[in-house]
Structure 1
Amino acid sequence: MKPLRLLLGITISVVCLWLAVRNVPFSDLATALTGARCVWLALAVLVLLLAIIARAKLWATLLGGGVRLADSFWSEGIGYLFTNVLPLRMGEPARVFVMAKRSGLPIVQVATTAAIERLLDVIAILLALIAILPWMDVPHPVRRAGFAFGLVVLVVVLALIVLVRLNSRGERLLRGICGYLPFIPMEKTLIIWQELVAGTAILFCIQVAVRALVLSLATWTLSAGAYFCFLRSFQADATFVEAIFMLVAVCLAVSLPSSPGFIGVFQWVGQQALVLPFNNKYDHASALAITLTLHLITYVFTSLLGVIGLSRFGLSFVNLRKNIAEEPKNHKIEDELTLNASYGVDCHKSIQK
């Protein structure tokens, strides 16, 4: 299955890259690239760094007060590195694995908070899309698609609420299911359930939830700010509406299978996000120049953060990849994995630095 996914991803990347460059004369692309203003590019990198710091702080907040911001930040960086150079989105398991080792928390619990972080991302993308639609001339099908997307988000949020609120009743239900289906390991299943509940319950502490929402908003505002700076380096009258729409389009597109680093998909979707709704400002050459520059700088910068993170944690890329692959085989049910009932409930401890 994995080889097929990899082949599909590479095929999609190649096709998208061809679509992005097929109508762009090389001379026009070179002219657009040489016209970039370096001051705005430098500012974009700075804002991008602030966005990553805000995201790291968000993850540390979701994990609880005992997690250091530095551990979260460098784990994020390592995740970016793995996503950039390995197929099949290895960045997510990489950052979860490293954070679990650094924090001493159960790996399923850490993975759950990472999933919550992504859920907040989806909500932020939805809100951003809704916010800019009134400022754009979009056809009715696009509005319907936005409504459908919002419905999906609502279902996911409701499922999350049910997951946490069931708690002990959900555990009894699982016990009953495992009793009728003996091939399901009851003890392991219950431990995973407890870790999932603990990981999501922290959002029902008002202080933590508010702090997480503020940090999520800050993360995406800074991300849009970075995109705006990249646009301004090529287009003097670029606006935040263009930056936000490009950011939303790219974030939705990278959910498709692709090669490592989203090469091809990023360039074509980013290009079309500028050309189709804003063709009075951007042609195919200038839009491709922007997406190529944005992707290259982001790719190099985030990969560098990952390399530094590996060095700071005393890890090697090869060994970490091997450990991640072996983790499911080595995961054993141990008494110490039983969760402390106070985790995610004591708000005072959760919001301490």
Structure 2
Amino acid sequence: MKNWRTWAGVLISLLCIFWLVRGTNPRVLYDTLRRTEYQWLIPVVLLYAGGMWVRAVRWQLLLRSSGSVDLGRLFRWSNIGYLINNLAPLRLGDVLRGYLCSEGAGINLVSVLFTLVVERLADVVALVLILVALLPRVDLPTRYLAPVLWIALAAAAAVAVMILVAVRPRWSLDWFDRLARRFPALDRPWLRRAVHSAVKGLAVLGSGNSVAGVLGWSLVAWLAAGLQYYWTARSVGLALPAPAALLLVCLTSLGMVVPASPGSLGVIESITVLTLALFGVGREVALGYALVLRAVSYVTLFGLGLVSLWSEGIDLQHLRQALARPTKQQGDTERE
């Protein structure tokens, strides 16, 4: 199943790249890249690093029910995870940073992984809220709204279930017990431990202040991303209005739910070209802008990731072992 998803993602990325290349004038694209004023990218790099720090603060808040975790280490683990997400398929970087946190902070792996699920859902909710606020300012075609609506409904349903579990943990565990009695295949020690750990990982959502804090930090992170997009547009000579930059952040980020190669290569660029066309931006200028965004993202992620690997004392061999251990642990647990 994982191999199928990987190859489907690669195929989608290749199709997007083919579509981009086929209709692009290389000379105009080259001129766009040549005119880039790289001094405008300095604040973009700083904003990117700041956004990663904000995400680490949010993660610390989500882990509060499991204990106190050093913010600096969470920042470094996040950097390592995002680096691997851009190199490996199936978001293995998220599994890796969950494992590093579990090992480094002594927290159950399932509890940590459920905080990452909450992170993703909080991101979707924040993006949808920003998009709703932008609707009076931008003329968005209906074909863009339908998939966003479905994603929003799915995220809202998942968040509601998680908050219910957090508010009524005992009821949730009793419900699983009844389900296990009805279906004996579910009545296994490893699965019971996993369910208890999952409920513990969601405990932070039982507090209204914590929910507001998680959502608030998510909004700060995405507004910082909007500033990154805005300043990058300045670097390529594109007078992109602030609402357009935020709209682009929302659509490209929500578009990452589409299966693709690591880093959503080709998919993000295609969404960027299509979205900027709504504002009268030519294909080559839009693609040049997307490529500069990609380059800045990669340079910053690789820089932060490599420094974090060095700070944590993780070399290539340790990295491979760490990537293999969560899968091995899961297999060992399921055999119990």
| Maintained 8 Å contact 1:126/1:150 | yes
Contact 2:124 2:152 in 1 (8 A): no
Matches of 2:323 and 2:142, distance apart in 1: 45
Residue pairs, 1:112-123, within 5 angstroms: 112-123=114-125
Residue 220 (structure 1) shift: 1.1
The answer to whether the Cα contact below 8 Å between 1:130 and 1:146 also exists between their aligned partners in 2 is: no
Q: How many residues align?
A: 330
Identity %: 27
Q: What is the match of residue 346 of structure 1?
A: none
Instruction: Give the drift of 1:2.
Output: 2.3
- For 2:132, give the aligned amino acid: I
- Please state how far the C-alpha of 1:201 moved relative to its aligned partner: 1.7
The unaligned stretches of length 5 or more in structure 2 are none
Q: Which residue of 2 aligns with 1:12?
A: 12
Cα drift, residue 290 of structure 1: 0.5
Question: Which residue is equivalent to 1:278?
Answer: 279
Please, which of 143, 163, 166 is the counterpart of residue 164 of structure 1?
Answer: 166
- Give the superposed CA RMSD: 1.9
Q: Is contact 1:175-1:186 (8 Å) kept?
A: no
Select between 130-139 and 324-333 the one with higher mean Cα deviation. Answer: 324-333
Partner of 2:53: 53
**Distance in 2 between residues matched to 1:285 and 1:320, nearest whole Å:** 39
Shift of 1:267: 1.5
Q: Is the 8 A contact 1:52 1:73 kept in 2?
A: yes
Counterpart of 1:92, as a letter, is D
1:18-167 alignment to 2 at 5 Å? 18-64=18-64, 66-167=68-169
**Counterpart of 2:265?**
263
TM-score by length of 2: 0.91
Matches of 1:121 and 1:323 in 2, distance apart?
Answer: 26
Q: Which segments of 5 or more consecutive residues in structure 1 lack a partner in the other structure?
A: 334-353
Structure 2 CA distance for partners of 1:149 and 1:86, relative to 1, 3 Å: closer
How far off is 1:120 after superposition?
Answer: 0.8
Please give the alpha-carbon distance, in whole angstroms, between the structure 1 residues aligned to 2:148 and 2:83. Answer: 32
- The reply on whether 1:301 has 2:300 as its aligned counterpart is yes
Deviation per CA, 1:307-345: give whole Å up to 9, x if none: 222211112234333333233433577xxxxxxxxxxxx
Deviation at 1:54, TM superposition (A): 0.6
CA drift of 1:157 comes to 2.1
Instruction: Tell me, in whole angstroms, the C-alpha distance in 2 between the residues paired with 1:288 and 1:173.
Output: 51
CA shift for structure 1 position 228: 1.0
Structure 1 stretches of at least 4 aligned residues deviating more than 6 Å after TM superposition: none
Amino acid at match of 2:215: L
Q: TM-score, normalised by structure 1?
A: 0.87
TM-fit CA distance, 1:142: 4.2
- Match of 2:223? 221
